[in-house]
Amino acid sequence: MKRIAITLLLCLLVSGCGMKDIDKRFYVVTTGVDLSDNPAKPYRISLRLAITSAKAESGSSRTEIQTIEAASIAEGVRHLKAYVDKELEFGHCRVFVLGKSLLESSSPDAMSWFARRRDIQMISYFAVGEPDALSVLKITPESERYPGNALFLSFGNEGTESPYTVTSYLFDNSRRLLEKGIDPVLPIIRTQEKTYVIDRVMLLDKKKPRLTLTPGETQLYKMISSHSGKSELVLPLEDGKRVVMTVSDIKAKVHIKRDSVPVITVKIRMGGTLEESPPNLLEKDWHGLERRMADRYSEQMEQLLIKIRDAGVDPLGFGLKYLSTYFGKEKDYKWWQSVYPEAKFNVVTDVRVRGPGVIR
């Protein structure tokens, strides 16, 4: 009896499992961080919390937003637990939106919380909110089936596959902040009534934003950076008409010639079908049309690369390519930094038109 009594007493000292049931958790689906007006608490943290529902249909998404100002992101998230009655769970938070003003005034070191938090996935998406992150979190598209679904589908290519939408992952963003020879790129989410528009990107150096690309430039950047098909190549004609080719596949190779002024040669091969063109255009001069489209694309790409170079950023990783090619050390990287502002570009494009599409 004494042994049984001692065993029962010892059982009272054993702690139980720390797992909380689903109905005792708030799942964070989107996190936004803005710059506040309070210098003592510069971060405004906003969490979009999912309210679970048995329905899964368009317009059935239900969420609530909690916002707080804090001296750091970690402190703000910890304090927000006092605002809700359930445990905050970041395991399903795959979209993090940073305010534009925050990026312009804050050091990237303050963003290390996202990479250090153990329950945040490294495949989460990062973006810039315009005019701010909180405005993006407040948008609830009517087509959203469950909380956060709209942004998940936009960035994950599970829904739309737009040639204007660039995806930036947490792991890639962290690598670009630390790696020599390559700089971060973040897509910009703009609010428009009850929906989002994601057709621009912001290019940053290791500390601050340097350049924002237009929608047309964003498409060109995505084509060469991620070899993105389902893009379009447009050639205006002399009579005011236009030829539009849908690019189904694209490949790019980069070669850097080491000289007093480095020459960066980009060879691009792409193919696709014409979706819009005047009648009998291919019968007149098929190969001539391919050459004209290739020359126009090469000219546009060279202009974009020069614009990016003049902004002092390297999102395509030419510096990383140079270091890997010539076994570069620290002195080689310093030399590259000194000559990159004068680097020359040579874009050679080979366009293959495979047909006029389906004509009935």
Task: Give the pair of three-digit tokens for residue 228.
Answer: 């993105």
d(CA 116, CA 282): 56
Q: Is 3 helix (H, G, I), strand (E, B) or coil?
A: helix
**Burial zone of 105 (CB within 10 Å; 0-12 exposed, 13-18 middle, 19+ buried):** exposed
**Domains of the chain from N-terminus onward:** 22-212 (no CATH), 219-360 (3.30.300.210)
d(CA 269, CA 292): 14
Enumerate residues 6+ apart whose C-beta is below 8 A from 80: 45, 47, 66, 68, 88
Q: Would you state the pLDDT for residue 3?
A: 86
- Which of these, 219, 126, 211, 110, lies nearest to 167 by C-alpha position? 126
Query: The whole model's pTM is what?
Result: 0.87
**Burial zone of 315 (CB within 10 Å; 0-12 exposed, 13-18 middle, 19+ buried):** buried
d(CA 313, CA 310): 8
DSSP β-ladder status, 195-204 and 185-192: antiparallel
Per-residue pLDDT of the chain (360 residues; tens, 9 = 90+): 888 888 878 777 665 555 666 677 888 999 999 999 998 999 999 999 887 665 555 555 678 899 999 999 999 999 998 988 888 888 888 899 999 888 888 766 667 888 888 888 888 999 999 989 999 999 888 877 777 788 888 898 777 888 899 999 999 998 998 899 999 999 999 988 888 899 999 999 888 899 999 999 999 999 998 887 788 889 898 888 888 998 989 999 999 998 888 999 999 999 999 888 888 777 788 888 889 999 999 999 999 999 999 999 999 999 999 988 887 788 888 999 999 999 999 999 999 988 887 665
d(CA 95, CA 155): 9
- Look-up: residue for tokens 């689903």? 22
DSSP β-ladder status, 231-236 and 195-204: unpaired
